Amino acid sequence: MSTLLEIQSRLFDNNAEITRLQSELAKNPNDFGLAISLKSVEKFGEELKAAFAEEAAKMEESVLDYRLCVNERVGFSQITDIIDSFQNLFSLVYDSITLKKPKNNVRITKKAKEETLLGFAYTYSGSIGIALTLKAQKDNLFGSDIDFAMKETLKMINTESPESIKELISKYGLGTFKALKEWVNSHIENNISAEIKWDKSTDNEVSKHVELSRLNRVKKALEPTEPQIFEEEILIDGILQGFNYATSSFNIKLDEDNEDEVITGTIDANLAHEQTTGKAYNFKLAKKITINNTSEKTSYTLMEILPIE
């Protein structure tokens, strides 16, 4: 058995012993010996967690400590809902960083999914404590993309103003914006706050308290009362399936990597009236996204049709 697995096994045993002692102490609150034993076992558990993090670092793994603070009985699905939504947000942020462009959809590349997969390490006492591991990357001059993505993800808990929302969307895209809403809502709907600690190394630790009061402020910021409009020009390859200047409508089927996706919209008045359909082109589109607190609308205007070189 590897050292890491051995420590992991001892952590499981330690947590079981803590649970047993807590149960016994609840039945016998004045038993001084039980209280001393519990403190001793809890201290040993902290030493085991430190040993696990140290050994994980040797094996080029980083540890994410995600402690859920609960005041009532919770279901397994509530826990997985929160962890899954955090995983999705983190993966999208990482995908955006590595692709060097905002993620305006919620599709995550296969590479990003594999490189950001959070693996289960162990649980521990203290509400619901979950330790997750992540394969570390070798740092470059500015640190690793994984480390930067995790820090950027945790910083999003400070997104409480319209300006910070616009900055988020501009930097990481609407897909990330949606994922942040889902993560925030998963905590609020399940009435669970958290403390999250990213312990990349002993001298580089990031910790965030995710209180429900703060999450509600973030939720309010993510649901603006006034519509927010985002505009950009995009270039795409696809097949012109339909073009009707009289009704100012077009229909583009995207390339084979997006074979099920079709874009429709209006035609710019300056575009030539006659176009050959059924052919592949490079298209320049004006994309407009309007967001309010209940809906999101995306529209396209076809600006140019260019031959594929």
**Dihedral sign from CA coordinates of 176, 178, 181, 185:** negative
Output b/e per residue, 46-65; b: 16+ Cβ within 10 A.
eebbebbbebbbeeebbbbb
pLDDT score recorded for residue 257:
53
Domain 228-306 has CATH 3.40.640.10: no
165 touches 177 (CB < 8 A): yes
Regions of the chain with pLDDT less than 70: 1, 4-5, 8, 12, 56-60, 125-126, 136-143, 200-205, 225, 255-260, 293-294
Q: Where are the domains of the chain?
A: 1-59, 60-222, 228-306
* 253: number of Cβ within 10 Å: 17
* pTM for the predicted model, two decimal places: 0.70
pLDDT score recorded for residue 200:
62
pLDDT score recorded for residue 256:
54
- Nearest one of 157, 166, 205 to 184, comparing CA atoms: 157
Per-residue pLDDT reduced to its tens digit, 17-50: 777 777 777 788 888 777 788 788 778 878 877 7
- Of all helices (H) and strands (E), which one includes residue 263? strand 262-267
Residue 10 CB-density burial (10 A; 0-12 exposed, 13-18 middle, 19+ buried): middle
Strand partners, 166: none
CA distance 160 to 150: 19
- State the Cα angle at 146 between 141 and 149, rounded to 5°: 100
- Nearest one of 267, 158, 147 to 214, comparing CA atoms: 158
pLDDT score recorded for residue 5:
67
